[in-house]
Chains A and B, each alone.
Chain A
Amino acid sequence: MTFAKTCGANMHKSIPPEVKQSLLNTIQHLDHVLPGQAPIHDFVHHNTLHGFQHLPFEEAVAEFEALTGISAYLPLQRYRDWYAEGRINSADLDWALRQGLPDLDRSVPLMGEQFTRLDIDKAILLSDCRPLTLAALNWRKQHMSQHEITVWDRFCSKFSMGVKDFGFETEFSDHETLNQLTAIQDFFDQVGKTKSLRGLLLSLTGEDVLEEIRPSLIKACAAVLDEGVAAWHLPDWQTLGWYTSWKKYYRSEIFLVFEDQDDFEEFWQELPEQPLDAIIYTLSSFAIPPSNWNAYLQRLALEIPGWSGLVNWRQHHPEYRQADGATPSLVDYLAIRLILDRYYLGAFCRRHHLPSARFDRLLTYFRLHQSEFLLRQSLYQGELPEAWVNEVRQLLKNPARFRPQQMLLALKIQQWQQQNERVLQPHSAIWPVFVLCQQLNLSGHQLENLDSTSCFYLLDRVQNFSVQQQAWLWLNAYEYHYQQQLLKALHANHQRGRWADRHQQRPEAQIIFCMDDREESIRRHLEEHNPWLETLGAAGFFGMAMHYQGIDADQTVPLCPVVVNPAHIIREYAHRNSDDEKYQRSRAFKKKLAAWVFHDLRTNPIFSFVLMPVMAPFTLFSLMLRSVLPGVWADFQAGFDRYFFSDIATYLQIDAESPQQIASPDSPRQGFNDQEQADRVMAFLKNTGLSYGFAKWVVLMGHGSSSLNNPHLAAYDCGACSGRHGGPNARVFAAIANTPKVRKILAERGIVIPDDTWFVGAEHNTGNEAISFYDLDKLSGEQKAEFAEIQIQLQHGQKHSAHERCRRLASAPRQPSLPKALRHFYSRSHDFSQARPELGHATNAAAFIGRRSQTQGAFFDRRLFLISYDPTQDANGTLLEGILLAVGPVGAGINLEYYFSTVNNEAFGCGSKVPHNLTGFFAVMEGASSDLRTGLPKQMIEIHEAMRLQLVVEAKTEVLEAIYARQPALQELVGGGWVHLSSKDPETGVIYVFNRKHGFEVWQASEQAIEIKENSYDCYRNSDQALAPVLIRQPIVPGVQL
Chain B
Amino acid sequence: MIDTLLLLIPVIPASVALLLGILQIVGNGQKECWERWVSGIVISAQTLTCFMLVYVFFAVWTGNVASGSRDYGVWITCGDWKIRWQLTLSVFNLGVASVFALLILVAMRFSVNYLHREPGYLRVFSLLALFAAAMMLLLLGANAFLTFAGWELVGLTSYALIAFSYHRITAANNSTRVFLTNRIGDAGFLLLIVSSSIWLGTTEWQAIATAVNRLNNNQMTLISLGLVLAAFVKSAQIPFSPWLTQALEGPTPTSAIFYGGVMVHAGIFIVIQAQDLLQQVPFVMHLMLVVGCLSLFYSIWVGLSVADIKTSHAIATIGQLGIMFICCGLSFWTLATWHMLAHAIVRSFLMLSAPGIMLDSKVQAVTSFKNRFASSRVLYRLSLQRFWLEELNDHLLVRPFMRLTDDMAYFDQNILSRIISSPIPLIEKVSAIAEKEEDKIGAKLNNPEDTFASGSGLAAQLTVLAAELIHQFEQHFILYGLGRDSIQLGRRMGQIANRFEQLLLKPRYIILFVLICLILVLGGGA
Interface residues of A, Cβ cutoff 8 Å to B: 40-41, 133-135, 138, 208, 211, 219, 222-223, 225-236, 248-250, 253-255, 258, 385-388, 390, 416, 590-591, 594-595, 597-599, 601-603, 605, 608-609, 612-613, 615-616, 619-620, 622-624, 627-628, 708-711, 713, 810-811, 831-836, 912-921, 925-930, 939, 942
Contacts and interface: CB of A to CB of B under 8 A. Distances in A.
Given A608-B320, A620-B102, A925 B339 contact: no
Nearest to A599: B366
A906 B458 CA distance: 55
Contact of A385 (B307, B322, B432): B432
Interface stretch (B4-12, B145-153, B311-319, B516-524): B311-319
Contacts of A925: 308
Contacts of B165: 912, 915, 926
Contacts of A230: 304-307, 312, 366
A388 B431 CA distance: 10
A709 B342 contact: no
Given A915-B250, A927-B249, A929-B170, A231 B367 contact: yes
Given A811-B116, A915-B252, A223 B309 contact: no
B316 A831 contact: no
A249 B381 contact: yes
Nearest to B350: A601
Question: Which 8 A-B residue pairings sit nearest by Cβ, starting from the closest?
Answer: A228-B365, A386-B431, A222-B307, A385-B433, A927-B249, A616-B342, A709-B356, A605-B319
B52 interface: no
Chain B, interface size: which category? 35 or more
Contacts, number: 289
B106 interface: yes
Given A605-B323, A810-B32, 9 more contacts: A255-B392, A608-B343, A612-B343, A616-B345, A620-B102, A623-B349, A711-B358, A916-B252, A917-B311
B235 to A, nearest CB: 14
Contacts of B432: 133-135, 385-387
B110 A833 contact: yes
17 contacts: A223-B307, A228-B365, A231-B304, A386-B433, A602-B316, A605-B296, A619-B349, A709-B353, A833-B352, A834-B114, A835-B116, A913-B355, A914-B115, A915-B171, A916-B252, A918-B354, A927-B174
B250 A613 contact: no
A643 to B, nearest CB: 20
B374 A235 contact: yes
Contacts of A620: 99, 102, 345
B364 A594 contact: yes
A41 B358 contact: yes
B365 A388 contact: no
B355 A41 contact: no
Contacts of B114: 833-835, 913-914
B286 interface: no
B307 A250 contact: no
Contact of A615 (B342, B354, B365): B342
Contact of B376 (A233, A235, A597, A622): A235
Contacts of B115: 914
Given A222-B308, A255-B391, A603 B357 contact: no
Contacts of B441: none
A223 B305 contact: yes
A602 B362 contact: no
A591 B364 contact: yes
A232 B362 contact: no
B362 A624 contact: no
B117 A942 contact: yes
B43 to A, nearest CB: 10
Contacts of B74: none
Given A914-B118, A916-B355, A594 B350 contact: no
B76 interface: no
A919 B355 CA distance: 10
B113 A834 contact: yes
A41 B116 CA distance: 25
Interface in B216-258: 245-246, 248-253
A833 to B, nearest CB: 4
Contacts of B434: 387
Interface in B403-462: 424, 428-429, 431-436, 439
Nearest to B324: A609
Interface string B178-201: 000000000000000000000000
B368 interface: yes
B341 A616 contact: yes
A328 to B, nearest CB: 13
A645 to B, nearest CB: 13
B299 A386 contact: no
A258 to B, nearest CB: 5
A231 B373 CA distance: 13
Contacts of B397: none
Contacts of B245: 928
Given A925-B308, A927-B248, A711 B355 contact: yes
Given A228-B364, A386-B428, A708-B356, A609 B113 contact: no
Contact of B106 (A40, A229, A627): A627
Contact of A609 (B169, B320, B391): B320
Interface string B113-131: 1111110000000000000
B365 A927 contact: no
Contacts of A616: 341-342, 345-346
Nearest to B112: A833
A219 B384 contact: yes
Nearest to A229: B307
B381 to A, nearest CB: 5
B80 interface: no
A918 B357 contact: yes
A134 B118 contact: no
B316 A601 contact: yes
A624 to B, nearest CB: 7
Interface string B89-111: 00000000001001101100111
A921 B366 CA distance: 11
B444 to A, nearest CB: 12
B57 interface: no
A927 B170 contact: yes
